[in-house]
Amino acid sequence: MALRHAVLATLIDGPATGYELTKWFDAGVANFWHATRPQLYAELAKLEASGLVAGTEVVQQGRPNKRVMEITDAGIDALDEFARETSRPTAMKSDTLVKVRVLDVIDPTALHEELTSQLVVAVAKLEAFEAVEARMLRGRTHDEYLARARRVGPYLTLRLGIAREREYIAWLREVLDVIDRRRPSTVPPGHPIHPTLEVT
């Protein structure tokens, strides 16, 4: 029941269209919530009906018209109320972890490929996160930022996202290594089967 609040939390940073929200929530950019397009359009309609966001039709030339959504005062109140409710720890769900758990029982070829492609995605995501971090800090140190910045919430969630991504990358490399050692690689030397991208 928190998609509505995730949307409101995003609109705190400024108005956006359903299309823009789709990209933030669907792509890996959103490190705090995930949602699909139909969900977002449906949720925005409900939020508007209950007065928590206000939409404005913007007519464009050469492009389809768009509806820019803005959070209302009632919307901010709703966020405050949400923060008062207690929610219990987040539920973990990962297809990939299920597969790794049974890695000894199955043919690991396909799993190796999957982990490799996830490694590429994770490295790209980490780089994107670090770019956002640099843009936020603008030369300031971590401590300076926390002490002086007007808003620290987005920075703090980003920090967790970065830490998790780094760790996931290290773990993926370890698992790939284990698979390689257990099932001696059939790849000719000089052609590494998984990327050796450096994380700085």
Partner DNA sequence: TTCGTCATGTAATGCGTTACATGATTAA
Partner DNA sequence: TTAATCATGTAACGCATTACATGACGAA
Q: Which residues of 106-121 are buried (b: 16+ CB within 10 A; e: fewer)?
A: eebeebbeebbeebee
Sorted by sequence, the CB contacts under 8 Å of residue 134 that are 6+ apart come out as none
Among residues 118, 125, 108, 128, the alpha carbon closest in space to that of 182 is found at 108
Q: How many residues bind a copy of itself (CB under 8 A)?
A: 71
Rounded to whole angstroms, the Cα distance separating 63 from 15 reads 19
The option from DNA, a copy of itself, none interacting with 111 (CB < 5 to 8 A, set by class) reads a copy of itself
Residues 10-29, interacting with a copy of itself (CB under 8 A): 12, 28
The option from a copy of itself, DNA, none interacting with 45 (CB < 5 to 8 A, set by class) reads DNA
The option from a copy of itself, DNA, none interacting with 53 (CB < 5 to 8 A, set by class) reads none
CB of 89 to DNA, least distance (A): 11
Options 15, 20, 34, 42; binder of a copy of itself; rule CB under 8 A: 34
Rounded to whole angstroms, the Cα distance separating 70 from 56 reads 8
Q: 64 or 188, CB closer to DNA?
A: 64
Options 16, 44, 52, 122; binder of a copy of itself; rule CB under 8 A: 122
Output the CA angle 180-163-134, nearest 5 degrees. Answer: 120
Q: Does residue 135 interact with a copy of itself by CB under 8 A?
A: no
The option from DNA, a copy of itself, none interacting with 194 (CB < 5 to 8 A, set by class) reads none
- Residue 44 in contact with residue 7, Cβ under 8 Å? yes
Which regions of the chain does DSSP assign to beta strands (E)? 16-17, 53-58, 66-71
Q: Please identify which residue in the block is written with the tokens 């995605």.
A: 121
Q: Does residue 121 interact with a copy of itself by CB under 8 A?
A: yes
Q: Does residue 99 interact with a copy of itself by CB under 8 A?
A: yes
Q: 16 or 179, CB closer to DNA?
A: 16
Question: Of the listed pieces 50-58, 61-69, 142-150, 191-199, which binds a copy of itself according to CB under 8 A?
Answer: 142-150
Residue ranges in contact with DNA by CB under 7 A: 1, 3, 17-20, 22-23, 34-39, 41-42, 44-45, 60, 62-67, 91, 93
Residue 112 DSSP SS3 = helix
